[in-house]
A and B are shown apart, each in its own frame.
Chain A
Amino acid sequence: MVMGLRNDPAVAIAVIVLWALLALFVVYPLVMLLGRVLTDHGTFTTAGLMAVLTDRHQIRAFWNSLLLAVLVGFAGTVLGFLFAFTAARERLPRELITVIDAVVLLPLVSPPFTTAIAMIFSFGPRGLITYDLLGLKGATVYGLTSTLASEVMTYFPIAYLTLRPLLAAIDSNVEGMALSLGASRWRVFRTVTLPLTVPGLANAFLLLFAASLADFATPLILAGNNFPVLPTQAFLQITGLFDLRGGAALSFVLLFPALLVFVLQRYWVSRRYYVTVTGKGAGQTPFDSISPDARAALLAICALVALVIVYFYALLLYASIVVALGANHTLTLQHYRTIFTDGLKAIRDTLIIAAFAMPLGGLYGILLGYLVTKKSFLGRRSMELVSMINYALPGTIVGIAYLIAFNDPPIELAGTALIIIACYIFRYGPTGIRATVALLQQIDKSLEEASQGLGAGSATTFRRVTLPLIMPAFFAGLGVVFIRSMTAISATIFLVSISWTLITVKILENITELSLGPAAAFSVLVVVIVFVVIAIIGRVLHRFRAPGAVSMTNLLGG
């Protein structure tokens, strides 16, 4: 194993550099977080942690977080499954699938708060639906229901993207076989299709559970005082009460369910797949697997949900071009003027940070992915595991850990762009790693052997054969880092400063100041930029017709 390194100095250097970076930006912050929670002036103590664990308010926040995550997991998985089943089985025209994909993609590439803002616009005290349409006075939008609805709308696409390829990959003959043995369509679905999807459903549930657990933006806006959740509490503890230790302790509590999900997903769910998703469809279903009634019902549900999403975004767009939605509907561009004057710094900073994080994150993804798949060296598996930590943990934890680790010497990065860029690379680069690993596992060893057999050395083989084949993963990984750099907030809200700020943070400021117009305009801007970049990268990916070329949208699924 170590022999390989000695023979290949380039690999050895890469491995050492990557380990150093992982130690600095993944392990070190977590250790510092742990230190802050469990020590006081150099001595070990659980007093800080106990303070949190015995505070009834915080205990409620913990249970609320779990309750919300479980509900979002269930509802989002069901909704995602309905969409996936409709898309995979109804033999819809291609154009319609493209429309579904685009609509479903919207929440995934939007800045946080977008559905939350739309909920307030629609169901708030002066909401379009509650006040204008139904004439309700003093309607309250804040609480579990609206938070749940908003998070389900935001995260169900993850379930859709997880389940659709799985459903498409089920061997249609297996279902045909059940049918030929006399089973009704419903029985085929119940005894064959659904059981084969169970691992995927479990996976989708865990992904949604984790996403909801980590989400602090939606509850911050919608949950209200009566439904506190952990990430929000940690945020308020730090920004409101300037209690870094208390915030760290709260985020530390969040660590356990998050790690449990990560372990379950990695070591339990992934081994229970009956269906191998290769990216290649298993061909047409041998029969109409859905009865006409069920088909109509499914289409109706999906159309309804899609309409709600479209309505939310239309509302957002509308809010950005009227003076004040709900009060004064005169068309105006003043909100855009505001964001391009007062908000220009945030836009510029965000774009600069994204522009640096994007290529570095893409490079990090394929380099680490390539090394852990194709090279054998000591600690190969642990390198992969460590690289996934920042990705798996809720952003609140990562943000607070960075804040603690890099605020003081020896490594003082607070207030710089570098800390935000590093946070993005190590938090969202793992998508590129997974894409690279998945692609490399599909590339048969014989391809590289064929190249060597034709007289090419290992360098030439890498350059001419392997690299072109993993380029799709590079661009997909880079795209995801860019999108997240534009839309993320949970970790980086702790890392912004006067020198470097972000659009998403600006949106939050606007919402808290109740200037919803500029918030809507910022959100529209982000959605537009992200869609343009997705379109460009989609073009690039299309040119690589490599086997199982990764689609970036699928990677956004989790």
Chain B
Amino acid sequence: MTESVGNRVGVRIDGVSKRFAHRVKGEVYAVREVCLDVRPGEFLTLLGPSGCGKTTTLRMIAGFETPDAGSVHFGERDMTGLPANQRDIGFVFQNYALFPHLSVFENVAYGLRVRGRTDAEIGKSVGDVLALVGLAGYEQQFSGQLSGGEQQRVALARAIVIQPSVLLFDEPLSNLDAKLRVQMRQEIHDLQRRLGITTVYVTHDQEEAMAVSDRIVVMHQGRVMQEGTAEDLYHRPSSQFVAQFVGRVNLVAGRVTEAAGDTARIAALGTMLSVRPSPAGLAPGAPVRLVVRPEAISILRTDAGPLQATVESRTFLGEKIEYVVRCAGEALQVVCYDERRGEVIPPGAAVSLRFGADAVTVLPATLAEDHRDA
């Protein structure tokens, strides 16, 4: 196995749409005018709830589905009409799709045999790649004899042994147990780093997406909602949907009272909050939603301060404590990574809250509402 692939290509999807016939609703869009640009060697993840169109998008990249509109390019090459067997891809399925009638060796060798490699080359490549995924010695086993994790590794080996220009993963870890999932996602990440193959990965698990990707594209109802690094999505969500889908969040209703420069003052939670950076075009009087992450809120054991609150419940989770507090009628989630060991605030206690200006993202309320209903 060579350490990297010579000709890296990017993947570009332009205005791709796919409609399906729905039994009740008639024609529905599974994917609607999606544009993506995956850079050569990049690890890009399509993230979203089930039915958001991420798998259909991936299958259109693979050539298993033909788009009704738009185009798919690998590098400069237009792939739109080509079937999967002419695209030079490696695909890893959620259920692994190992050939049940072939041994591990023959499963991995399949793509090489199709490419007409000699037996000597095949023997060497398969041996190398099985060693790479930690399955040396499993050559003669059949898929029925392997554990879920082992099957997953065979599927991975089979996809990378042909040194494809693009590697595609469709929820590859969802059939594994939690511990193995964490281990495998690290292995996939490291392997992709070493091989440098342009990769598109589909998952509904935001933590998995954050762990493996260079960049994440959040999809919802067939459209791209936002794309960016894990940090971008977490700290600067552009919509209520993304804010809620990526990590846990408090959404607080507010109204702009003053917008000047890069700071805005917003009336919320019965007080005035100073927030920056404010999105452009926030006029005074406009309704907004404040996005506040639970860990960005501090609880102070004092009844002084502008944000008075009452502790409603607390959950001790070892390295952290989760509280639900009520502040100006709104229930807020708060996560404390407890440095003051043993100090747990009891329910009913009057406290005051503090959150830093950087921790708050402001979304226009109309937009936020749109996406909640969308």
Measuring CB to CB, which residues of chain A are less than 8 angstroms from any residue of chain B?
171, 173-174, 176-185, 187, 191-192, 195-196, 198, 274-275, 286-287
Contacts and interface: CB of A to CB of B under 8 A. Distances in A.
Contacts of A274: 100-101
B157 to A, nearest CB: 12
A173 B95 contact: yes
A185 B93 CA distance: 19
A191 B95 CA distance: 20
B91 A183 contact: no
Nearest to A188: B85
B59 A174 contact: no
A186 B350 CA distance: 73
A129 B351 CA distance: 99
Contacts of A180: 62-64, 84-85, 87, 89-91
A173 B101 contact: no
A177 B83 CA distance: 12
B165 to A, nearest CB: 12
A287 B89 CA distance: 15
Contacts of A177: 91, 93, 97, 99, 158
Contacts of A191: 110
Contacts of B114: 181-183, 187
A287 to B, nearest CB: 5
Contacts of A182: 85-86, 88, 111, 114-115, 162
A171 B97 contact: yes
Contacts of B64: 176, 179-180, 286-287
Nearest to B168: A180
B54 to A, nearest CB: 16
Q: Output the residue of A176, A181, A191, A274 with the most chain B CB within 10 A.
A: A181
Contact of B97 (A176, A187, A198, A275): A176
A180 B112 CA distance: 12
Contact of B100 (A187, A196, A286): A196
Nearest to B92: A177
Contact of A181 (B59, B93, B110): B110
Interface of B: 59, 62-65, 83-91, 93, 95, 97-101, 110-111, 114-115, 158, 162
Contacts of A196: 100-101
B85 A184 contact: yes
17 contacts: A173-B97, A176-B93, A177-B91, A178-B99, A180-B62, A180-B90, A180-B91, A181-B85, A181-B114, A181-B158, A182-B85, A182-B111, A183-B111, A185-B85, A187-B114, A287-B63, A287-B84
Given A174-B99, A182-B115, 12 more contacts: A171-B95, A179-B83, A179-B85, A180-B89, A181-B85, A182-B88, A183-B111, A195-B101, A275-B100, A286-B65, A287-B83, A287-B84
A287 B66 CA distance: 9
A267 B200 CA distance: 46
A287 B84 CA distance: 9
A184 B111 CA distance: 11
B153 to A, nearest CB: 15
A181 B88 CA distance: 7
Nearest to B86: A182
A393 B86 CA distance: 52
Contacts of A184: 85
A176 B168 CA distance: 13
A192 B99 contact: yes
Contacts of B95: 171, 173
A375 B87 CA distance: 55
Nearest to A176: B64
B98 A174 contact: yes
A182 B158 CA distance: 12
B272 to A, nearest CB: 56
A173 B22 CA distance: 22
A170 to B, nearest CB: 9
Contacts of A171: 95, 97
Given A181-B114, A182-B115, A176 B91 contact: yes
A176 B99 CA distance: 11
Nearest to A174: B97
Nearest to A178: B110
A183 B97 contact: no
Contacts of B110: 178, 181, 183, 191
Contact of B93 (A173, A183, A187, A198): A173
Which 4 interchain pairs have the tightest Cβ spacing?
Answer: A181-B111, A173-B97, A274-B100, A286-B64
A180 B101 CA distance: 18
A187 B115 CA distance: 12
Contacts of A173: 93, 95, 97
Nearest to A170: B100
B84 A176 contact: yes
A544 B162 CA distance: 49
Contacts of A181: 85, 90, 110-111, 114, 158, 162
Contacts of A195: 101
Nearest to B143: A274
Nearest to B98: A174
Nearest to B142: A274
A200 to B, nearest CB: 12
Nearest to A282: B95
A189 to B, nearest CB: 12
A181 B110 CA distance: 7
A173 B62 CA distance: 12
